[in-house]
Structure 1
C-alpha cells in the first residue's frame, strides 16, 4: 500500500485540529425533525461544503423540498466510490437528563478511555468526519486521493429521508458508483471492527377490526355480540405456529440459508444468548426453533406485534365491549422476500378470519425488502484485511437486525451495493441523552478509512 504510512502519520500528527473541526460541527444544532432548526440545518450543510472545498473537493449544497443535501466530487484514478453520511441529528429531549449542553461538546475520561460527549457525536457527525479527515490526510500528503470519490451527506435521515429517493432519481448519473461506503454502523465490540453484510427489511401494517356501531355494555350484549378484541387476538395468535414459524402463505419465499462459512465466522464471535437476553431480564430464546439467537436476529424473518388497543384501558374497570380494536404488526424481512407480496398474503389471511358482523381496515406503515451485501466481491475481504491491520485483531462480518433504508435505496435506485463500516459502540447512547463517541473510535476510524481506501486502490 504505497504511501499509506505517511498518510497515517499525518492523521496522528493532526488529531488536535481534526478534533477541533469535529467540535465545530457538533456545536451546530442540526435537528431535522423540528422546523425551528431549519436555518441551523442549512448552516450545517454550508459548513460541510466549505470544509470539503477546502480539502479540494468540488462541493455544493443542493436544496430540496426539505433540508439540503451536500454533494462533493474529487476526481482521481482508482475505483469509483460514493461515501454516504448524514449531518442531521435527533432532538435532545429530555434536556434535563443531559449532564451539559448537548451542543457544547465535552471531552470526558472514562474507564475505557476518553469520549466525546455531544448530540450527534456518534450518530452520525463523528462517523462521517472520520472519512472526511481521512481524505484530508490523503490530500495533504499526496495532493490527490486514492479513489474517484463522490460524497453525499443527507440532512433528513433522522426524519424519514423524504427527499432522498427523489434526489437519487434526479441525480442518478452523478451519484452512481461502483460501491457505496456507509459509516452509520458500529463495531462488534470495542476491540473488534466489523463490516455489516446484511440488513433486514421492514413491513409495517396496522389492523383495525370494527364490530358494533358503538361500545356496548358487556352485561347487556356480552355473548351474542361480536367482540373486536376477541376477533383480533384470534387473528394475531394464528400468525405463528407452535415452533415460532410465521404462518402467512408464501412468507418464506426468497429466504436464503446462511452459508456454512458465515455460520462458522459467527461462531467465533463469542456471542452469549444468555448474556444477551439476561441484560433485559429474559432467559429463554422465544423465536423460531432450530436457529441460534444470532441467526434469528441477523438472518431470519420475523412477525412481531408492536401495539394493541381497544376498549377501556384507563384506571379502574369498565365492562365494555369495544366497537373497535387495533394492532400494529411489523415483519422483519431478509434475502429476497417481497414485502408487497407478503402484505397481500397477510391481508388475505386476516380477511379470511373476520366474521360476518365485523369489518377490517388496514393502514400501511412502510414496506422495504432486506439487503444482503455481496461478500464474494474482493473489496469486502480487502476492507476486512485493512480493518484488521489497523485494530490489531481480525475484523468480522456481521449482520444487522434492523434496517438502514439508504442501503436499499442505493440498490434499488442506483443499482449499487454498499459496504457498511462504522466505529460506534453499543453504549454510545445514540438518540438518548448524553450521547458519546469514543476518541479511539474517531482516531482509529480515520486511520481505518485511510487503509480501506488504499486497499481498494491497490485491488
Structure 2
C-alpha cells in the first residue's frame, strides 16, 4: 500500500472516532463573550490539550488570554526541519437556540453526512482535521514524530475579536518562532471545486447612537416638532452607499489597491453559478458595487454592513412613544491598501458632517479589536499546500480564492515575522454564526488527508 492509500485508509478506518471526538468537544459550550460561559472556555482548552497529548505532543500548555485561555502545543523533533505554527480557535459564537431546527446547538447530531452543532465547522472541526491529519501522517509514514516541527496556538477569544492575542504573542514570543503559519479558520469555495484562500479582508466594528428627546416621549404629545432619532439614524444609514453600491465616506477608496489582472484571472477561473451561490448562501439576491464580479466583491473589494439596529419598542407592547435614542452596529471590511486608522478617521468625519441639526450622537470605533487585511506572499509552503490539497481532495487542479471575513493573520505575520498561509474546511453552506451550523464529514476527511500530505511534502524539502 503506497503512502497515499495508507493515509486514506487510516482516515476512513478512524472516521467514526473522528466524528465521536469532535461531537464530544462540541458539547462543551465554549461561547465567547458570555460571562456565564467563561468556565466552559477553560473546559474546552483542557479538552483540546488532552487530545493533543493523546496524539503525541510532548509539550502542551494552557496560556491565559483576556477573555479565554489559549492552548499551546509543540512537537519539535528535528532542528534541521521546517517549523510550522498552526493557528486556530476553540471558542464559538453565541447562539439563539430557538432558531435551531436540526438539533439544539450543543447536542451534536450526525445526519446525511453532516455533523450539526455550534463549532462543528467554525472552528473546532478545522482543528480536528489537524489532529487526524497528523495521526494519519504518523501512521502512513511509520514515523515516531512529524516530518516537520509543529507548534499550535489555538486561542479562546477569536469570536470576541482576539483582544488578548497580541499580549499572548508578546508574552510567549520565544516559544512561537516558526518558518510559516498555517491559519485554519477559513472557508473553501465549493465542495466539488476546492481552492486555497490567499487573502482575507480586514475588519472594523462601529457602534453609533443617535439621541433625540431627553427621554422617551408620547408621540401624541410632541409628534411633529420633536426630533426622532430612529428617523435620523435611518437617514444616515440610507446614505452609507450611493446608487452604484459604493461606500460614501470621503476618501474611502483612495488607498484601495486595484485588482491585478492576475488576481482577476484567478477568481474568474473558479466555477460560479448565480443560482448555486444563492442556494448555498441563502442571500435571496445579488447586489453590491457596480463593475465587479460577485467573487471580486466578496474578496477584493471593501464592504459595509449594518449588523444590528435598535430603537423604540422592538418587542413587547408598543408605548406609542418617540424613542430618546436609536442605535446601530456596523461591520466594515477593508482590503489591501487600506488601514484601520485611516478608515476610522473617515467614518468619524462623515458622521460629524452628515448628522442633522437638533440631534446628538456618540460614535464608538472598536480600534482595539480591529483587524488589518492580509495577503499571502508567494512562498514554498503555499506551493506545497497546493500540491497537498490536490492530493487530499483528489482533484487535478486547485484554485485560488479569498476570504470575505477577517482574522488576526496580519497580527500573526507581523509579530512572528513569518508568512501566513490559509487552509480551512468550512463552506458557506455550513452556516457559520447562524442557526444549524454543520460540517460535511467528507470535507473534514479530505482536509485531514491534505494536512497529512502537507507535512510529508514539507519534510522532503529539507
Contact 1:82 1:150 in 2 (8 A): yes
Gaps of 5+ in 1: none
- Alignment map for 1:52-71 (pairs within 5 Å): 52-64=52-64, 66-71=67-72
Instruction: Render the CA deviation track for 1:1-33: whole Å, top value 9, x for unaligned.
Output: xxx943751552364346425523531433223
- Alignment map for 1:426-437 (pairs within 5 Å): 426-431=428-433, 435-437=437-439
Describe the shift of the 1:5–1:52 C-alpha distance in structure 2 as closer, same or farther (beyond 3 A): farther
Describe the shift of the 1:158–1:363 C-alpha distance in structure 2 as closer, same or farther (beyond 3 A): closer
- Alignment map for 1:393-404 (pairs within 5 Å): 393-403=396-406
Describe the shift of the 1:224–1:22 C-alpha distance in structure 2 as closer, same or farther (beyond 3 A): closer
Describe the shift of the 1:202–1:431 C-alpha distance in structure 2 as closer, same or farther (beyond 3 A): closer
Q: 2:3 matched to which residue of 1?
A: 6
Instruction: Provide the aligned length of Structure 1 versus Structure 2.
Output: 450
Q: 1:26 matched to which residue of 2?
A: 23
Contact 1:41 1:155 in 2 (8 A): yes
Q: 1:137 matched to which residue of 2?
A: 136
Q: Structure 2: how far apart are the matches of 1:107 and 1:81? A: 32
Structure 1 stretch displaced more, 374-383 or 114-123: 114-123
Instruction: Render the CA deviation track for 1:182-215: whole Å, top value 9, x for unaligned.
Output: 2222322222222111212222222222234345
TM (normalized to structure 1)?
0.84
Describe the shift of the 1:392–1:306 C-alpha distance in structure 2 as closer, same or farther (beyond 3 A): closer
Q: 1:184 matched to which residue of 2?
A: 185
TM (normalized to structure 2)?
0.84
User: Does 2:85 match 1:82?
Assistant: yes
Q: 2:244 matched to which residue of 1?
A: 243
- Alpha-carbon offset, residue 259 of structure 1: 1.8
Report the 3-state secondary structure (helix = DSSP H, G, I; strand = E; otherwise coil) of the residue aligned with 2:73: strand
Q: Please tell me the root mean square deviation across aligned C-alpha atoms, in Å.
A: 3.4
Q: 2:426 matched to which residue of 1?
A: 424
Describe the shift of the 1:225–1:32 C-alpha distance in structure 2 as closer, same or farther (beyond 3 A): same
Q: Structure 2: how far apart are the matches of 1:172 and 1:88? A: 22
1:406 aligned to 389, 405, 408, which one? 408
Contact 1:336 1:370 in 2 (8 A): no
Structure 1 stretch displaced more, 25-34 or 263-272: 25-34
Q: Structure 1: how far apart are the matches of 2:355 and 2:263? A: 43
Describe the shift of the 1:17–1:42 C-alpha distance in structure 2 as closer, same or farther (beyond 3 A): farther
Larger of the two Rg values belongs to structure: 1
- Alpha-carbon offset, residue 335 of structure 1: 0.9
Q: Structure 2: how far apart are the matches of 1:337 and 1:393? A: 36
Q: Structure 1: how far apart are the matches of 2:439 and 2:356? A: 54
- Alpha-carbon offset, residue 251 of structure 1: 1.0
Q: Structure 2: how far apart are the matches of 1:47 and 1:365? A: 32
Instruction: Render the CA deviation track for 1:385-434: whole Å, top value 9, x for unaligned.
Output: 2211332231111111112x232331343343321112233333445565
Structure 1 stretch displaced more, 163-172 or 315-324: 315-324
Structure 1 stretch displaced more, 91-100 or 13-22: 91-100
Describe the shift of the 1:275–1:224 C-alpha distance in structure 2 as closer, same or farther (beyond 3 A): same
Describe the shift of the 1:187–1:226 C-alpha distance in structure 2 as closer, same or farther (beyond 3 A): closer
Contact 2:201 2:334 in 1 (8 A): yes
Q: Structure 2: how far apart are the matches of 1:303 and 1:442? A: 32
Q: Structure 2: how far apart are the matches of 1:42 and 1:314? A: 35
Describe the shift of the 1:176–1:95 C-alpha distance in structure 2 as closer, same or farther (beyond 3 A): farther
Report the 3-state secondary structure (helix = DSSP H, G, I; strand = E; otherwise coil) of the residue aligned with 2:151: strand
Q: 2:150 matched to which residue of 1?
A: 149
Q: Structure 2: how far apart are the matches of 1:14 and 1:159? A: 33
Structure 1 stretch displaced more, 70-79 or 288-297: 70-79
Q: 2:123 matched to which residue of 1?
A: 124
Contact 2:138 2:146 in 1 (8 A): yes
Structure 1 stretch displaced more, 195-204 or 131-140: 131-140
Describe the shift of the 1:292–1:6 C-alpha distance in structure 2 as closer, same or farther (beyond 3 A): closer
Q: 2:212 matched to which residue of 1?
A: 211
- Alpha-carbon offset, residue 221 of structure 1: 5.0
- Alpha-carbon offset, residue 449 of structure 1: 0.7
Contact 2:7 2:449 in 1 (8 A): no
Report the 3-state secondary structure (helix = DSSP H, G, I; strand = E; otherwise coil) of the residue aligned with 1:329: strand
Gaps of 5+ in 2: none
Q: 1:166 matched to which residue of 2?
A: 167
Q: 1:447 matched to which residue of 2?
A: 449
- Alpha-carbon offset, residue 384 of structure 1: 1.3
